[in-house]
Amino acid sequence: MPAGPDFSVLPWPGVESQAELSGDEGGTLLPTGALLGGVLLICVAVLRRWIGGGVCRSGQRQDGKTVLVTGANTGIGKETCRELARRGARVVMACRDLSRAERAAEDIRRSTGNGNVVIRHLDLASLYSVRHFAKDFLDSEDRLDVLINNAGVMMCPKWLTEDGFETQFAVNHLSHFLLTNLLLPKLKSSAPSRVITVSSMAHRGGRIDFSDLFFSRRPYSPLQSYQQSKLANVLFSRELARRLRGSGVSSFCVHPGVIRTELGRHVEGWFPLLGALLRLPAMLLMKTPRQGSQTTLYCAVTPGLEDQSGNYFSDCAVKEAAPEGRDDETADRLWRESARLVGIKETC
């Protein structure tokens, strides 16, 4: 078969090169793109640093101290445990799923070189489990320097615990209320000691409905229930500080930030398409678990915070809680009602 004719591509009349055809005179397009890419990366880095928020700068060691963290096998709980173990503390991880807890504990032991990290079973959806855990802790541990009420659920369906309580209010508030009160003898004997309760900026707009705490009569709203439970955290921490004044036990409440953790799994369950669409932006605009643990760590290890007992912290600084979270009359009433519900005396 004869060879086909040879073709050559000639420039368009009046245009000397492809660079000129594309308008890239002098080959500037590539350097300009690289410059814009570099600027974009710098902007993203600055944005990520800003979103990361405050950082705990204290280098205070925790050797000889015992720290208890609930919800410790994942997210900010795990990162809090990791940092406290790195500082030399004995870390007790209170978790519902022991197999996942042991994997998390082993990872922390390996990464920090601290073998004094132990796990214990605690199901915050059961007051019986809380009482059993507290008794075992009091019988076996010599001291308790820091109690971190970290575990929580967010915007789950309307579930009831074995005690008949709505799950968000029970897990986020009532069980931590009972746990803290049962462990007070150890906290007092270890003073100066601290109680840190993880709340959320979602307490803003929340309301404690004493006539229907568990949504028995009104329509259940996952968001309103979550807001109520987080407001209860703020009020509990404030009232605890008031009742423990002069005891050597301090109480702090923290907002960790908006964080990429498993806590939001129920939100994606309610709105799966929205969750899928927002997953990539969320990775850019949310804190990492390590960043989210910084305010908890700040309140746990920073010296001289005793005079800030009862305050609300965010980004490693005191912030003003919502007006609903500064209502001392509601805080006292919530304490008395919570004590009645879990079956303990209301005084510290």
Instruction: Indicate the SS3 state at residue 166.
Output: strand
Residue 226 annotated to the active site: yes
Provide the CA 92 distance to its chain's centre, in angstroms.
18
**Residue of 128, 220, 226, 298 marked catalytic:** 226
Angle subtended at Cα 261 by Cα 257 and Cα 263, rounded to the nearest 5 degrees: 90
Query: Alpha carbon of 95 to those of 113, 125, 264: distances in Å?
Result: 21, 12, 18
Contact yes or no for 261/74 (Cβ under 8 A): yes
The pair of three-digit structure tokens given for residue 238, joined into one six-digit string: 């404030």
The pair of three-digit structure tokens given for residue 168, joined into one six-digit string: 């968000």
Measured distance CA(346)–CA(181) in Å, rounded: 9
Measured distance CA(84)–CA(117) in Å, rounded: 10
For the beta carbon of residue 194, count every other beta carbon within 10 angstroms: 25
The pair of three-digit structure tokens given for residue 228, joined into one six-digit string: 């109520």
Which residues are known to be catalytic?
Answer: 226
